[in-house]
Structure 1
Amino acid sequence: MHRGKGMRFVGDSRVPADRKPNIPKDYSEYPGKTEAFWPNFLLREWMVGAVFLIGYLCLTIAHPAPLERVADPTDSGYIPLPDWYFLFLYQLLKYEFAAGAYTVVGAVIIPGLAFGALLLAPWLDTGKERRASRRPIASAMMFLGVIATIYLTWESVDQHDWEAAAEQGEMMDEDDLVDIVEDHEGYDIYVEQGCIGCHGDQMEGAGAAGPDLYDVPYDVDQIAEIAVEGIGEMPGVFDGSDEELEILAEYIAANGQPDGEGNGGDDEDDEEEEEE
Protein backbone atom coordinates (compact mmCIF):
# COMPACT_ATOMS: atom_id res chain seq x y z
CA MET A 1 0.00 0.00 0.00
CA HIS A 2 1.35 3.34 -1.03
CA ARG A 3 1.28 6.19 1.41
CA GLY A 4 -1.81 8.33 0.91
CA LYS A 5 -3.69 5.80 -1.10
CA GLY A 6 -7.44 6.00 -0.50
CA MET A 7 -7.35 9.63 0.82
CA ARG A 8 -9.31 12.35 -0.92
CA PHE A 9 -9.03 16.13 -0.42
CA VAL A 10 -12.40 17.92 -0.68
CA GLY A 11 -12.72 21.67 -1.14
CA ASP A 12 -15.91 23.62 -0.24
CA SER A 13 -16.60 26.49 -2.58
CA ARG A 14 -19.05 28.05 -0.10
CA VAL A 15 -16.22 29.12 2.19
CA PRO A 16 -14.40 32.06 0.58
CA ALA A 17 -10.66 31.96 0.76
CA ASP A 18 -10.44 35.75 1.15
CA ARG A 19 -12.76 37.77 3.38
CA LYS A 20 -14.43 40.67 1.62
CA PRO A 21 -15.46 43.93 3.32
CA ASN A 22 -19.16 44.31 4.23
CA ILE A 23 -20.20 46.52 1.31
CA PRO A 24 -23.94 47.14 0.87
CA LYS A 25 -25.50 45.98 -2.34
CA ASP A 26 -25.88 48.30 -5.29
CA TYR A 27 -29.55 49.26 -5.61
CA SER A 28 -29.04 51.74 -8.45
CA GLU A 29 -30.84 49.38 -10.82
CA TYR A 30 -34.06 49.83 -8.78
CA PRO A 31 -34.37 53.58 -8.23
CA GLY A 32 -37.16 54.52 -5.80
CA LYS A 33 -38.15 50.88 -5.19
CA THR A 34 -35.69 49.64 -2.63
CA GLU A 35 -32.61 50.73 -0.74
CA ALA A 36 -30.15 49.55 1.86
CA PHE A 37 -31.65 49.15 5.33
CA TRP A 38 -28.45 50.44 6.94
CA PRO A 39 -27.81 53.26 6.99
CA ASN A 40 -30.21 54.76 4.44
CA PHE A 41 -33.64 53.55 5.64
CA LEU A 42 -32.89 53.36 9.37
CA LEU A 43 -31.29 56.81 9.47
CA ARG A 44 -34.34 58.37 7.79
CA GLU A 45 -36.66 56.65 10.28
CA TRP A 46 -34.63 58.01 13.20
CA MET A 47 -34.75 61.53 11.77
CA VAL A 48 -38.54 61.42 11.32
CA GLY A 49 -38.95 60.02 14.84
CA ALA A 50 -36.76 62.77 16.29
CA VAL A 51 -38.85 65.48 14.58
CA PHE A 52 -42.10 64.09 16.01
CA LEU A 53 -40.56 63.67 19.48
CA ILE A 54 -39.42 67.29 19.54
CA GLY A 55 -42.87 68.34 18.34
CA TYR A 56 -44.57 66.45 21.17
CA LEU A 57 -42.19 67.95 23.72
CA CYS A 58 -42.96 71.46 22.47
CA LEU A 59 -46.70 70.69 22.61
CA THR A 60 -46.52 69.49 26.23
CA ILE A 61 -44.62 72.64 27.22
CA ALA A 62 -46.99 75.00 25.40
CA HIS A 63 -50.18 73.23 26.52
CA PRO A 64 -49.68 71.38 29.83
CA ALA A 65 -52.11 68.63 30.78
CA PRO A 66 -55.17 70.14 32.52
CA LEU A 67 -55.46 69.34 36.20
CA GLU A 68 -58.57 68.98 38.28
CA ARG A 69 -59.05 69.45 41.98
CA VAL A 70 -57.45 67.11 44.50
CA ALA A 71 -58.95 63.60 44.40
CA ASP A 72 -61.53 63.01 47.10
CA PRO A 73 -62.35 59.36 47.94
CA THR A 74 -65.52 60.47 49.70
CA ASP A 75 -66.94 61.98 46.50
CA SER A 76 -69.28 59.30 45.19
CA GLY A 77 -70.75 61.58 42.53
CA TYR A 78 -67.56 62.09 40.56
CA ILE A 79 -67.73 60.66 37.04
CA PRO A 80 -64.25 59.68 35.80
CA LEU A 81 -63.32 59.89 32.14
CA PRO A 82 -60.41 57.88 30.69
CA ASP A 83 -57.84 59.29 28.29
CA TRP A 84 -58.80 59.64 24.63
CA TYR A 85 -57.14 56.39 23.55
CA PHE A 86 -59.42 54.40 25.91
CA LEU A 87 -62.66 56.21 25.08
CA PHE A 88 -63.79 53.49 22.64
CA LEU A 89 -63.59 50.85 25.39
CA TYR A 90 -65.30 53.26 27.80
CA GLN A 91 -68.17 53.67 25.33
CA LEU A 92 -68.39 49.92 24.72
CA LEU A 93 -69.13 49.33 28.41
CA LYS A 94 -72.21 51.58 28.18
CA TYR A 95 -74.15 49.17 25.96
CA GLU A 96 -76.50 46.61 27.48
CA PHE A 97 -74.73 43.63 25.93
CA ALA A 98 -71.41 44.72 27.49
CA ALA A 99 -72.48 46.17 30.86
CA GLY A 100 -74.10 45.06 34.09
CA ALA A 101 -74.15 41.29 34.25
CA TYR A 102 -72.30 41.19 30.92
CA THR A 103 -69.38 43.40 31.97
CA VAL A 104 -66.96 40.52 31.37
CA VAL A 105 -68.14 40.40 27.76
CA GLY A 106 -67.41 44.09 27.21
CA ALA A 107 -64.24 44.30 29.28
CA VAL A 108 -62.53 40.99 28.39
CA ILE A 109 -64.15 38.89 25.67
CA ILE A 110 -64.86 41.48 22.93
CA PRO A 111 -61.53 43.36 23.30
CA GLY A 112 -59.72 40.00 23.52
CA LEU A 113 -61.27 38.77 20.28
CA ALA A 114 -60.60 42.07 18.51
CA PHE A 115 -56.96 42.39 19.50
CA GLY A 116 -56.41 38.66 19.07
CA ALA A 117 -57.71 38.85 15.49
CA LEU A 118 -55.39 41.76 14.69
CA LEU A 119 -52.52 39.84 16.26
CA LEU A 120 -53.23 36.76 14.14
CA ALA A 121 -53.75 38.74 10.92
CA PRO A 122 -50.22 38.04 9.56
CA TRP A 123 -50.81 34.30 9.91
CA LEU A 124 -54.37 34.36 8.56
CA ASP A 125 -53.32 36.20 5.42
CA THR A 126 -49.93 35.11 4.07
CA GLY A 127 -50.27 36.66 0.64
CA LYS A 128 -47.38 38.63 -0.80
CA GLU A 129 -49.56 41.26 -2.44
CA ARG A 130 -49.20 44.80 -1.10
CA ARG A 131 -52.46 46.23 -2.41
CA ALA A 132 -55.29 46.28 0.13
CA SER A 133 -57.79 45.13 -2.51
CA ARG A 134 -55.85 41.91 -3.06
CA ARG A 135 -55.57 41.08 0.65
CA PRO A 136 -59.24 40.84 1.66
CA ILE A 137 -58.77 39.14 5.03
CA ALA A 138 -56.15 41.49 6.46
CA SER A 139 -57.77 44.56 4.90
CA ALA A 140 -61.24 43.70 6.21
CA MET A 141 -59.97 43.10 9.75
CA MET A 142 -57.99 46.34 9.76
CA PHE A 143 -60.82 48.47 8.32
CA LEU A 144 -63.32 46.95 10.75
CA GLY A 145 -61.05 47.68 13.72
CA VAL A 146 -60.37 51.27 12.63
CA ILE A 147 -64.04 52.04 11.90
CA ALA A 148 -65.23 50.55 15.21
CA THR A 149 -62.60 52.48 17.17
CA ILE A 150 -63.45 55.80 15.48
CA TYR A 151 -67.21 55.30 15.88
CA LEU A 152 -67.06 54.35 19.58
CA THR A 153 -64.67 57.21 20.34
CA TRP A 154 -66.95 59.69 18.58
CA GLU A 155 -70.02 58.39 20.45
CA SER A 156 -68.22 58.64 23.78
CA VAL A 157 -67.24 62.27 23.17
CA ASP A 158 -70.69 63.16 21.87
CA GLN A 159 -72.59 61.62 24.80
CA HIS A 160 -70.35 62.91 27.58
CA ASP A 161 -71.64 65.85 29.63
CA TRP A 162 -68.61 68.13 29.36
CA GLU A 163 -70.17 70.98 31.33
CA ALA A 164 -70.89 68.75 34.32
CA ALA A 165 -67.42 67.23 34.05
CA ALA A 166 -65.80 70.68 34.08
CA GLU A 167 -67.88 71.67 37.09
CA GLN A 168 -67.16 68.56 39.12
CA GLY A 169 -63.42 68.83 38.49
CA GLU A 170 -63.15 72.60 38.84
CA MET A 171 -60.26 73.68 41.01
CA MET A 172 -60.92 76.41 43.54
CA ASP A 173 -58.53 79.30 43.96
CA GLU A 174 -56.17 78.90 46.87
CA ASP A 175 -57.35 82.27 48.20
CA ASP A 176 -60.89 80.88 48.47
CA LEU A 177 -59.87 77.71 50.30
CA VAL A 178 -59.87 77.73 54.07
CA ASP A 179 -58.39 75.09 56.31
CA ILE A 180 -61.41 74.27 58.41
CA VAL A 181 -61.03 73.28 62.03
CA GLU A 182 -61.40 69.50 62.15
CA ASP A 183 -60.77 69.18 65.86
CA HIS A 184 -64.23 70.42 66.70
CA GLU A 185 -67.57 68.90 67.60
CA GLY A 186 -69.17 70.57 64.60
CA TYR A 187 -66.80 68.76 62.23
CA ASP A 188 -67.56 65.42 63.92
CA ILE A 189 -71.28 65.98 63.34
CA TYR A 190 -70.52 67.13 59.78
CA VAL A 191 -68.87 63.76 59.11
CA GLU A 192 -71.40 61.63 61.01
CA GLN A 193 -74.37 63.13 59.14
CA GLY A 194 -72.77 62.36 55.77
CA CYS A 195 -72.28 66.00 54.74
CA ILE A 196 -68.70 65.18 53.81
CA GLY A 197 -69.86 62.90 50.99
CA CYS A 198 -71.41 65.75 48.97
CA HIS A 199 -69.61 68.84 50.25
CA GLY A 200 -66.07 67.51 50.74
CA ASP A 201 -63.87 67.19 53.78
CA GLN A 202 -62.89 70.87 53.52
CA MET A 203 -66.35 72.13 52.51
CA GLU A 204 -64.92 72.66 49.02
CA GLY A 205 -67.80 70.85 47.34
CA ALA A 206 -67.86 67.67 45.28
CA GLY A 207 -68.81 68.92 41.85
CA ALA A 208 -72.16 67.60 40.69
CA ALA A 209 -72.79 65.90 44.05
CA GLY A 210 -72.87 69.11 46.07
CA PRO A 211 -71.66 72.72 46.05
CA ASP A 212 -69.03 74.22 48.30
CA LEU A 213 -70.12 75.71 51.61
CA TYR A 214 -67.89 78.79 51.50
CA ASP A 215 -69.75 82.07 51.98
CA VAL A 216 -73.18 80.45 52.06
CA PRO A 217 -75.96 83.09 51.82
CA TYR A 218 -77.86 81.67 54.79
CA ASP A 219 -77.88 82.35 58.50
CA VAL A 220 -77.70 79.71 61.22
CA ASP A 221 -81.47 79.12 61.35
CA GLN A 222 -81.73 78.75 57.57
CA ILE A 223 -78.83 76.31 57.47
CA ALA A 224 -80.48 74.23 60.18
CA GLU A 225 -83.76 74.23 58.25
CA ILE A 226 -82.03 73.16 55.03
CA ALA A 227 -80.19 70.34 56.83
CA VAL A 228 -83.53 68.93 58.03
CA GLU A 229 -85.89 69.66 55.14
CA GLY A 230 -83.45 69.96 52.21
CA ILE A 231 -83.40 72.47 49.37
CA GLY A 232 -83.60 72.04 45.60
CA GLU A 233 -82.12 68.64 44.67
CA MET A 234 -80.61 68.25 48.15
CA PRO A 235 -82.76 66.06 50.42
CA GLY A 236 -83.03 66.53 54.17
CA VAL A 237 -80.44 64.23 55.69
CA PHE A 238 -80.02 65.38 59.26
CA ASP A 239 -81.37 62.95 61.87
CA GLY A 240 -79.59 64.03 65.07
CA SER A 241 -80.68 65.96 68.11
CA ASP A 242 -81.63 69.64 68.17
CA GLU A 243 -78.41 70.45 70.02
CA GLU A 244 -76.31 68.72 67.34
CA LEU A 245 -78.27 70.51 64.64
CA GLU A 246 -77.51 73.88 66.19
CA ILE A 247 -73.79 73.04 66.54
CA LEU A 248 -73.61 71.88 62.91
CA ALA A 249 -75.44 74.96 61.60
CA GLU A 250 -73.18 77.31 63.54
CA TYR A 251 -70.12 75.42 62.35
CA ILE A 252 -71.13 75.67 58.69
CA ALA A 253 -72.15 79.32 59.03
CA ALA A 254 -68.73 80.03 60.54
CA ASN A 255 -67.14 78.40 57.49
CA GLY A 256 -65.48 75.75 59.60
CA GLN A 257 -63.82 78.46 61.70
CA PRO A 258 -65.98 78.54 64.86
CA ASP A 259 -63.36 80.55 66.75
CA GLY A 260 -62.75 83.03 63.92
CA GLU A 261 -64.74 85.20 61.59
CA GLY A 262 -67.68 83.30 60.15
CA ASN A 263 -69.71 83.63 56.99
CA GLY A 264 -73.36 83.49 56.20
CA GLY A 265 -75.52 85.05 58.91
CA ASP A 266 -72.52 85.93 61.06
CA ASP A 267 -71.59 88.66 58.56
CA GLU A 268 -74.64 90.64 59.65
CA ASP A 269 -73.58 90.42 63.29
CA ASP A 270 -70.09 91.59 62.37
CA GLU A 271 -71.50 94.59 60.50
CA GLU A 272 -73.68 95.53 63.47
CA GLU A 273 -70.69 95.33 65.81
CA GLU A 274 -68.68 97.59 63.48
CA GLU A 275 -71.51 100.16 63.38
CA GLU A 276 -71.67 100.22 67.19
Structure 2
Amino acid sequence: MQRGKGMKFVEDSRIPAERKPNIPKDYSEYPGKTEAFWPNFLLREWMIGAVFLVGYLCLTVAHPSPLERVADPTDSGYIPLPDWYFLFLYQLLKYEFAAGPYTVIGAVVMPGIAFGALLLAPWLDRGVERRPFKRPIASGLMMLGVISVIFLTWESVDEHDWEAAAQQGEIVDDIEVDEESEAFEIYLNQQSCIGCHGGDMLGGAAGPSVFASEYTAEEVKDIIENGLGDMPPGQFDGTDEELETLAEFIANDGQDPNGDGGDDE
Protein backbone atom coordinates (compact mmCIF):
# COMPACT_ATOMS: atom_id res chain seq x y z
CA MET A 1 0.00 0.00 0.00
CA GLN A 2 1.30 3.41 -0.97
CA ARG A 3 2.42 5.46 1.97
CA GLY A 4 -0.12 8.00 3.03
CA LYS A 5 -2.81 6.61 0.82
CA GLY A 6 -6.22 6.76 2.49
CA MET A 7 -4.91 8.87 5.39
CA LYS A 8 -5.72 12.44 6.34
CA PHE A 9 -3.33 14.60 8.33
CA VAL A 10 -4.55 17.30 10.72
CA GLU A 11 -2.80 19.41 13.33
CA ASP A 12 -4.63 17.73 16.18
CA SER A 13 -5.77 14.15 15.89
CA ARG A 14 -8.68 14.90 18.24
CA ILE A 15 -10.29 17.27 15.73
CA PRO A 16 -12.15 15.55 12.90
CA ALA A 17 -11.20 16.59 9.42
CA GLU A 18 -14.80 16.83 8.24
CA ARG A 19 -16.45 20.10 9.32
CA LYS A 20 -20.03 19.89 10.43
CA PRO A 21 -22.45 22.79 9.94
CA ASN A 22 -22.83 25.04 12.99
CA ILE A 23 -26.41 24.12 13.78
CA PRO A 24 -27.61 24.40 17.39
CA LYS A 25 -29.18 21.38 18.99
CA ASP A 26 -32.93 21.13 19.21
CA TYR A 27 -34.42 22.61 22.42
CA SER A 28 -35.89 19.18 23.23
CA GLU A 29 -32.39 17.98 24.10
CA TYR A 30 -32.26 20.45 27.01
CA PRO A 31 -35.33 19.64 29.13
CA GLY A 32 -36.08 22.34 31.70
CA LYS A 33 -33.42 24.73 30.34
CA THR A 34 -35.14 26.16 27.30
CA GLU A 35 -38.57 26.36 25.69
CA ALA A 36 -40.27 27.09 22.43
CA PHE A 37 -40.60 30.76 21.47
CA TRP A 38 -44.13 30.16 20.25
CA PRO A 39 -46.36 29.87 22.12
CA ASN A 40 -44.64 29.29 25.49
CA PHE A 41 -42.19 32.21 25.76
CA LEU A 42 -44.24 34.76 23.83
CA LEU A 43 -47.45 34.00 25.73
CA ARG A 44 -45.66 34.42 29.06
CA GLU A 45 -44.22 37.79 28.00
CA TRP A 46 -47.65 38.94 26.87
CA MET A 47 -49.16 38.00 30.24
CA ILE A 48 -46.46 39.92 32.14
CA GLY A 49 -46.93 42.94 29.86
CA ALA A 50 -50.69 42.84 30.38
CA VAL A 51 -50.26 42.87 34.17
CA PHE A 52 -48.01 45.94 34.01
CA LEU A 53 -50.35 47.67 31.56
CA VAL A 54 -53.39 47.12 33.81
CA GLY A 55 -51.41 48.38 36.80
CA TYR A 56 -50.34 51.49 34.92
CA LEU A 57 -53.90 52.21 33.80
CA CYS A 58 -55.14 51.85 37.38
CA LEU A 59 -52.46 54.32 38.49
CA THR A 60 -53.51 56.89 35.87
CA VAL A 61 -57.15 56.56 36.94
CA ALA A 62 -56.34 56.91 40.65
CA HIS A 63 -53.91 59.81 40.15
CA PRO A 64 -54.87 61.80 37.03
CA SER A 65 -52.48 64.34 35.58
CA PRO A 66 -52.87 67.77 37.21
CA LEU A 67 -54.41 70.37 34.94
CA GLU A 68 -53.87 74.11 34.99
CA ARG A 69 -55.86 77.00 33.62
CA VAL A 70 -56.11 77.61 29.89
CA ALA A 71 -52.75 78.70 28.46
CA ASP A 72 -52.42 82.42 27.87
CA PRO A 73 -49.66 83.27 25.34
CA THR A 74 -49.79 86.94 26.37
CA ASP A 75 -48.95 86.17 30.01
CA SER A 76 -45.21 86.79 30.10
CA GLY A 77 -45.13 86.38 33.88
CA TYR A 78 -45.98 82.68 33.73
CA ILE A 79 -43.27 80.45 35.24
CA PRO A 80 -42.99 77.27 33.16
CA LEU A 81 -41.83 73.93 34.53
CA PRO A 82 -41.16 70.90 32.29
CA ASP A 83 -41.72 67.28 33.25
CA TRP A 84 -39.37 65.77 35.84
CA TYR A 85 -37.18 63.99 33.28
CA PHE A 86 -36.28 67.32 31.64
CA LEU A 87 -35.64 69.27 34.84
CA PHE A 88 -31.86 68.88 34.59
CA LEU A 89 -31.82 70.48 31.14
CA TYR A 90 -34.21 73.20 32.37
CA GLN A 91 -31.82 73.98 35.23
CA LEU A 92 -28.80 73.96 32.91
CA LEU A 93 -30.32 76.78 30.85
CA LYS A 94 -30.41 79.00 33.95
CA TYR A 95 -26.63 79.21 34.18
CA GLU A 96 -24.74 82.07 32.57
CA PHE A 97 -22.62 79.89 30.29
CA ALA A 98 -25.72 78.15 28.89
CA ALA A 99 -28.24 81.02 28.70
CA GLY A 100 -28.67 84.31 26.89
CA PRO A 101 -26.24 84.48 23.96
CA TYR A 102 -25.00 80.99 24.89
CA THR A 103 -28.40 79.28 24.78
CA VAL A 104 -27.33 77.17 21.79
CA ILE A 105 -24.47 75.77 23.88
CA GLY A 106 -26.78 74.77 26.73
CA ALA A 107 -29.70 73.58 24.61
CA VAL A 108 -27.91 71.86 21.71
CA VAL A 109 -24.13 71.53 22.03
CA MET A 110 -23.75 70.16 25.57
CA PRO A 111 -26.71 67.70 25.45
CA GLY A 112 -25.62 66.68 21.93
CA ILE A 113 -22.11 65.81 23.10
CA ALA A 114 -23.42 63.91 26.13
CA PHE A 115 -26.03 61.85 24.30
CA GLY A 116 -23.77 61.41 21.27
CA ALA A 117 -21.00 59.98 23.46
CA LEU A 118 -23.52 57.64 25.07
CA LEU A 119 -24.70 56.51 21.62
CA LEU A 120 -21.13 55.95 20.38
CA ALA A 121 -19.92 54.29 23.59
CA PRO A 122 -19.78 50.75 22.10
CA TRP A 123 -17.43 52.00 19.35
CA LEU A 124 -15.38 54.38 21.50
CA ASP A 125 -14.69 51.84 24.23
CA ARG A 126 -14.04 48.39 22.77
CA GLY A 127 -12.43 46.91 25.88
CA VAL A 128 -13.35 43.37 26.91
CA GLU A 129 -13.30 44.11 30.64
CA ARG A 130 -16.68 44.31 32.35
CA ARG A 131 -15.61 45.27 35.86
CA PRO A 132 -16.08 49.02 36.50
CA PHE A 133 -12.71 49.49 38.22
CA LYS A 134 -10.99 47.95 35.19
CA ARG A 135 -12.49 50.66 32.96
CA PRO A 136 -11.83 53.88 34.89
CA ILE A 137 -12.47 56.31 32.02
CA ALA A 138 -15.83 54.88 30.98
CA SER A 139 -16.95 54.37 34.59
CA GLY A 140 -15.81 57.86 35.59
CA LEU A 141 -17.66 59.54 32.72
CA MET A 142 -20.82 57.57 33.45
CA MET A 143 -20.70 58.46 37.16
CA LEU A 144 -20.09 62.12 36.25
CA GLY A 145 -23.15 62.10 34.00
CA VAL A 146 -25.39 60.44 36.60
CA ILE A 147 -24.25 62.80 39.38
CA SER A 148 -24.75 65.83 37.12
CA VAL A 149 -28.31 64.83 36.21
CA ILE A 150 -29.22 64.18 39.86
CA PHE A 151 -27.67 67.45 41.04
CA LEU A 152 -29.29 69.60 38.33
CA THR A 153 -32.68 67.98 38.94
CA TRP A 154 -32.43 68.62 42.67
CA GLU A 155 -31.36 72.23 42.07
CA SER A 156 -34.31 72.83 39.74
CA VAL A 157 -36.82 71.46 42.25
CA ASP A 158 -35.24 73.37 45.14
CA GLU A 159 -35.15 76.74 43.35
CA HIS A 160 -38.61 76.58 41.81
CA ASP A 161 -41.27 78.77 43.42
CA TRP A 162 -43.92 76.08 43.93
CA GLU A 163 -46.36 78.39 45.72
CA ALA A 164 -46.34 80.94 42.90
CA ALA A 165 -46.61 78.16 40.33
CA ALA A 166 -49.68 76.73 42.07
CA GLN A 167 -51.35 80.14 42.12
CA GLN A 168 -50.62 80.99 38.51
CA GLY A 169 -51.84 77.60 37.29
CA GLU A 170 -54.94 77.44 39.46
CA ILE A 171 -58.14 76.94 37.53
CA VAL A 172 -60.59 79.70 38.41
CA ASP A 173 -64.13 80.27 37.28
CA ASP A 174 -64.60 82.77 34.50
CA ILE A 175 -65.51 86.21 35.80
CA GLU A 176 -67.66 88.58 33.81
CA VAL A 177 -66.58 92.08 34.73
CA ASP A 178 -69.29 94.74 34.59
CA GLU A 179 -67.50 97.16 32.30
CA GLU A 180 -70.42 99.62 32.42
CA SER A 181 -70.04 100.30 36.11
CA GLU A 182 -68.57 103.42 37.66
CA ALA A 183 -65.90 101.37 39.45
CA PHE A 184 -64.55 99.97 36.20
CA GLU A 185 -64.21 103.51 34.82
CA ILE A 186 -62.27 104.43 37.95
CA TYR A 187 -59.98 101.46 37.42
CA LEU A 188 -59.29 102.43 33.79
CA ASN A 189 -58.02 105.81 35.00
CA GLN A 190 -55.35 104.10 37.14
CA GLN A 191 -52.50 103.41 34.72
CA SER A 192 -50.32 101.86 37.42
CA CYS A 193 -53.07 99.28 38.08
CA ILE A 194 -53.58 98.47 34.40
CA GLY A 195 -49.86 97.96 33.86
CA CYS A 196 -49.86 95.03 36.30
CA HIS A 197 -53.40 93.65 36.37
CA GLY A 198 -54.38 94.23 32.73
CA GLY A 199 -57.08 96.31 31.14
CA ASP A 200 -59.77 93.76 32.05
CA MET A 201 -58.64 93.40 35.70
CA LEU A 202 -58.04 89.68 35.12
CA GLY A 203 -54.26 89.73 35.32
CA GLY A 204 -51.38 90.89 33.20
CA ALA A 205 -47.65 90.46 32.71
CA ALA A 206 -46.68 91.42 36.26
CA GLY A 207 -49.75 90.91 38.43
CA PRO A 208 -52.56 88.38 39.00
CA SER A 209 -56.29 88.89 38.62
CA VAL A 210 -57.65 91.33 41.18
CA PHE A 211 -60.44 88.80 41.81
CA ALA A 212 -58.08 85.91 42.56
CA SER A 213 -58.58 86.07 46.35
CA GLU A 214 -61.63 86.37 48.55
CA TYR A 215 -60.96 89.72 50.24
CA THR A 216 -63.55 91.95 51.85
CA ALA A 217 -63.96 95.54 50.70
CA GLU A 218 -61.99 96.79 53.71
CA GLU A 219 -59.15 94.35 53.03
CA VAL A 220 -59.03 95.36 49.38
CA LYS A 221 -58.91 99.01 50.36
CA ASP A 222 -56.05 98.33 52.78
CA ILE A 223 -54.08 96.45 50.10
CA ILE A 224 -54.53 99.27 47.59
CA GLU A 225 -53.33 101.83 50.11
CA ASN A 226 -50.52 99.90 51.81
CA GLY A 227 -49.52 97.35 49.19
CA LEU A 228 -49.06 93.57 49.52
CA GLY A 229 -46.04 91.44 48.58
CA ASP A 230 -44.57 92.78 45.35
CA MET A 231 -47.36 95.34 45.03
CA PRO A 232 -46.05 98.75 46.20
CA PRO A 233 -48.22 101.08 48.30
CA GLY A 234 -49.63 104.42 47.27
CA GLN A 235 -50.39 103.53 43.64
CA PHE A 236 -54.01 104.70 43.66
CA ASP A 237 -54.59 108.19 42.27
CA GLY A 238 -58.13 109.14 43.19
CA THR A 239 -60.47 110.32 45.91
CA ASP A 240 -61.46 108.35 49.00
CA GLU A 241 -64.96 107.87 47.57
CA GLU A 242 -63.52 106.41 44.36
CA LEU A 243 -61.25 104.11 46.38
CA GLU A 244 -64.26 102.89 48.38
CA THR A 245 -66.24 102.27 45.19
CA LEU A 246 -63.37 100.36 43.56
CA ALA A 247 -62.75 98.24 46.68
CA GLU A 248 -66.41 97.20 46.85
CA PHE A 249 -66.36 96.41 43.13
CA ILE A 250 -63.34 94.13 43.51
CA ALA A 251 -64.77 92.43 46.61
CA ASN A 252 -67.99 91.81 44.64
CA ASP A 253 -66.07 89.95 41.87
CA GLY A 254 -66.42 92.61 39.20
CA GLN A 255 -70.09 93.37 39.72
CA ASP A 256 -71.56 96.66 40.85
CA PRO A 257 -72.74 96.08 44.44
CA ASN A 258 -75.69 98.38 43.77
CA GLY A 259 -76.61 96.54 40.58
CA ASP A 260 -77.35 99.76 38.71
CA GLY A 261 -74.28 99.89 36.44
CA GLY A 262 -73.03 103.01 38.16
CA ASP A 263 -75.98 105.25 37.21
CA ASP A 264 -76.82 106.66 40.62
CA GLU A 265 -78.67 109.70 39.36
**Deviation of residue 86 (structure 1)?**
0.5
| Alignment partners' CA distance in 2, 1:249 and 1:144 | 58
Residue 99 in 1 paired to residue 99 in 2? yes
Q: 2-side partners of 1:70 and 1:182: how far apart?
A: 23
When residues 28 and 132 of structure 1 are mapped into structure 2, their CA distance, relative to the original with a 3 A threshold, is: farther
Partner of residue 86, structure 2 = 86
Unpaired runs of 5+ in structure 1? 1-15, 17-22, 267-276
- Shift of the alpha carbon at 1:77? 2.2
1:140-151 mapped onto 2 (5 Å cutoff)? 140-151=140-151
Cα distance in 1 between the residues matched to 2:122 and 2:89 = 24
Which amino acid is 1:231 matched to?
G
Q: Is this contact kept in 2: 1:79–1:165, CA < 8 A?
A: yes
Task: State the partner residue of 2:9.
Answer: none
Q: Is 1:61 aligned with 2:61? A: yes
| TM norm structure 2 | 0.63
How large is the RMSD of aligned CA atoms in angstroms? 4.7
Aligned to 2:4: none
1:158 Cα deviation from its structure 2 partner = 1.8
Secondary structure class of the residue paired with 2:120: helix
Cα gap change, 1:253 to 1:163, in 2 (>3 Å): closer
Deviation at 1:47, TM superposition (A): 3.8
Question: Deviations 1:66-106 (Å, cap 9, x if unpaired)?
Answer: 12223233433221111101101011112222122322211
The one-letter code of the counterpart of 2:119 is: L
- Paired with 1:238 and 1:66, the residues of 2 have a C-alpha distance of 37
Q: Give the count of matched residue pairs.
A: 233
Asked if the contact 1:254/1:260 (under 8 Å) is kept, the reply is no
Query: In terms of mean alpha carbon deviation, does 73-82 or 138-147 score higher?
Result: 138-147
Confirm whether residue 231 of structure 1 aligns to residue 232 of structure 2: no
Aligned equivalent of 2:176, options 173, 176, 179: 179
Q: For residues 140 and 194 of structure 2, what CA distance do their matches in structure 1 show?
A: 53
Structure 2: runs of 5 or more not aligned: 1-20
**CA offset digits 1:207-258 (Å, max 9, x no partner):** 9833533665447x959x94xx77243246678x99xx88x94865764334
Indicate conservation of the 8 Å contact 1:69/1:169, yes or no: yes
Q: Verify the 8 A CA contact 2:187 2:246 in the aligned structure 1.
A: no
Counterparts of 1:27 and 1:188, CA distance in 2: 90
Matched, 1:168 2:168: yes
Given the alignment of the two structures, is residue 212 of structure 1 paired with residue 210 of structure 2, yes or no? yes
CA change 1:231–1:24 in 2 (3 A) is: farther
Contact 1:117 1:141 in 2 (8 A): no
Residues 1:62 and 1:116: Cα distance change in structure 2 (over 3 Å): same
Q: Output the CA distance in 2 between the equivalents of 1:79 and 1:85.
A: 18
Structure 1 partner of 2:3: none
CA distance in 2, matches of 1:41, 1:183: 73
1:111 aligns with 2:107: no
Asked if structure 2 preserves the Cα contact closer than 8 Å seen for 1:87 and 1:156, the reply is yes
Q: Which residues of 2 match residues 1-276 of structure 1 at below 5 A? A: 25-26=26-27, 43-136=43-136, 138-172=138-172, 174=173, 177-181=174-178, 186=184, 190=188, 193=191, 195=193, 198-199=196-197, 203-205=201-203, 209-210=207-208, 212-213=210-211, 216-218=215-217, 226=224, 231-232=227-228, 233-235=230-232, 249=246, 252=250, 255-258=253-256, 261=259
Quick one: structure 1 residues 255 and 167, their matched pair in 2 at CA, closer, same or farther if it must change by over 3 Å? closer
- Aligned AA (1:119): L
Q: Equivalent residue of 2:27, what SS? A: coil
**Whole-Å separation in 2 of the counterparts to 1:28 and 1:151:** 52
Q: Check 1:112–1:188 CA distance in 2 against 1; reply closer, same or farther (3 A cut).
A: farther
